[in-house]
C-alpha cells in the first residue's frame, strides 16, 4: 500500500473499527484483517460489474448478434467448453446434453431452460436430436450457426482478456494464477469455523437477537 494511501486512511474515521476488533479477538492479525477488507472492496466492485454482464453485453453488441444474454448462456451450456461448468463425476466426453443438463449447468429452472432452448431452436441455433445412448431421449445440439456464435463470443472474450494480460510479465502471471485458484476456494470454508471465529459469530448473533423488534409496518 502506498505511503499516500496510508496517510489518507490515517486521517479518516475508521468505519470498520468494530470489524477489526472482532477479527483481532478471533486471532486474526491486523495485516490480514486489512487485506480481507481491501480484497472485499475489490470483489464487491467486480461483483457489480459481473452482475451487469458488461463483457457479455459488449460482445453481443460489437458482434451484432440478435440474441440476449440468457440465450447466449444456453448456447454455451450446450457447447459446454471444457472446465467452464461443474459436471457430475459420471459425465465424460461422450456425455449428451439434454434440457435438464442445461438447467443443471446454468442452475436455472428446467422450465426456463426449455423455453430458452425452444427460442433458440426457432432461431436455428440449436436443434433437437435423438440420443445415441437411449432412443427414447431427446438431446440438444448446436447447429453450425450456433457453433459459430459460441466460437465468436469466446474468441471475443479471450481477445479482451488476452489484450489485458499481454502487459503482464511471465513472472506475474505465474504468481497470479495459482494464487487466484487458491483464493477461489475461500468461500468453501464459510461453514468451517475455528473455535475463535465461531465464538465471535455467536456474539454477533446474540447482539442481533437483542435488538428491539422492528416495526412490521
- Look-up of cell digits 426456463: 112
pLDDT tens-digit readout, 169-183: 999 999 999 998 888
Average pLDDT, the chain: 84
Q: What is the pTM of this model?
A: 0.70
What is the mean pLDDT of the segment spanning 24-50? Answer: 85
pLDDT tens-digit readout, 84-97: 776 654 454 457 89
**More confident: 125 or 137:** 125
Element (H, E) at 74: helix 69-79
In this structure, the number of other CB atoms found within 10 A of the CB of residue 101 comes to 22
What is the mean pLDDT of the segment spanning 4-12? Answer: 51
Instruction: Tell me the HSE value of 97 on the side-chain side, using a 13 A CA sphere.
Output: 25
pLDDT tens-digit readout, 133-179: 877 788 999 999 999 999 999 999 999 999 999 999 999 999 999 99
Distance CA 67, CA 117 (A): 12
Element (H, E) at 141: strand 138-142
pLDDT, position 89: 43
What is the mean pLDDT of the segment spanning 50-73? Answer: 91
Amino acid at each position: 500500500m502506498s505511503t499516500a494511501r496510508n496517510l489518507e486512511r490515517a486521517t479518516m474515521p475508521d468505519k470498520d473499527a468494530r470489524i477489526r476488533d472482532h477479527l483481532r479477538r478471533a486471532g486474526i492479525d491486523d495485516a490480514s484483517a486489512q487485506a480481507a477488507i481491501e480484497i472485499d472492496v475489490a470483489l464487491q466492485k467486480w461483483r457489480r460489474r459481473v452482475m451487469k454482464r458488461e463483457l457479455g453485453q459488449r460482445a453481443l453488441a460489437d458482434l451484432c448478434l440478435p440474441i440476449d444474454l440468457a440465450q447466449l448462456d444456453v448456447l454455451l451450456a450446450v457447447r459446454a467448453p471444457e472446465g467452464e461448468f461443474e459436471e457430475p463425476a459420471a459425465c465424460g466426453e461422450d456425455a449428451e446434453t439434454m434440457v435438464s443438463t442445461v438447467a443443471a449447468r446454468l442452475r436455472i429452472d428446467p422450465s426456463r431452460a426449455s423455453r430458452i432452448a425452444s427460442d433458440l431452436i426457432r432461431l436455428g441455433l440449436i436443434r433437437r436430436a435423438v440420443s445415441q445412448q437411449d432412443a427414447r431421449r431427446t438431446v440438444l445440439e448446436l447447429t453450425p450457426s450456433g457453433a459459430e456464435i459460441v466460437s465468436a463470443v469466446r474468441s471475443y472474450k479471450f481477445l479482451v482478456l488476452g489484450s489485458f494480460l499481454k502487459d503482464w510479465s511471465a513472472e506475474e502471471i505465474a504468481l497470479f494464477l495459482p494464487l487466484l485458484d487458491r483464493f477461489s476456494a475461500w468461500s468453501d470454508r464459510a461453514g468451517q469455523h475455528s473455535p475463535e471465529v465461531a465464538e465471535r459469530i455467536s456474539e454477533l448473533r446474540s447482539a442481533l437477537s437483542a435488538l428491539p423488534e422492528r416495526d412490521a409496518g
